[in-house]
Amino acid sequence: MKTEAVIFDMDGVLTDSEWFIAEAGRLMFKENHGVDVTHADFLPFVGHGEDRFLGGVAAKYAVSSFDLARDKARTYELYEGLARGKLRELPGASAFVRSCRALGLRTALATSTDRVKMLVNLREIGLADGAFDALVNGQDVERKKPFPDIFLEAARRIGVRPGNCWVVEDSVGGVTAAVAAGMRCMALLTTFPEDALRAAGAALIVRDLATAEVARLV
């Protein structure tokens, strides 16, 4: 199979925003509902998009006043303030993306998060302008990872057959989604152990993008 494109997940691949979004969620629950939650409460819902991220915690604490649209909007306001000037790219992220483009590969971002958080993250890590040929977020598909929909949509938008795409992921669910889409997956050891990623079907496993070589994908 000829490699024509590389599709990137965001959190755990390009940046790590989990502390910031968990802190924003914690502040929101305290401000809007007077409920004290912890960062650990959000862990079971990481990677499933903010609807589930917030809704799962609201259900755990039986927050009857929870309003998804209102509470998510406030969480993003808090998130942007927390992340501004502090969110950083993970080692080698921007350099790897630009190396892909220098080799003539098309690039896409496929993240389960909502559009507003995606744009904040790209701005903060310096990949907002022209780094990707397509941006796909969790609001663009009905089924989230581990379903393949988001990766298939990314391939469709950049006009590349799924079999000619590599996906860069860090989670078991993301690897599962990439394999289900008929794509090869390079998994990073930033979140999950190697044996779990290999069992999910990762074709290549590296520590992070600073140690990855684009040439191995071509």
Q: Any idea how long the chain is? A: 218
Active site residue 71: no
CB contact at 8 A, 14 and 89: yes
Residue 51: half-sphere exposure toward Cβ, Cα within 13 Å: 10
How far is it, in rounded angstroms, from Cα 63 to Cα 193?
34
CB contact at 8 A, 14 and 73: no
Question: Residue 101 corresponds to which amino acid?
Answer: R
Catalytic residue among 11, 114, 149, 170: 11
How far is it, in rounded angstroms, from Cα 188 to Cα 170?
5
**What is the C-alpha radius of gyration for the chain, rounded to an integer number of angstroms?**
17
Active site residue 170: no
The catalytic residue positions are: 9, 11
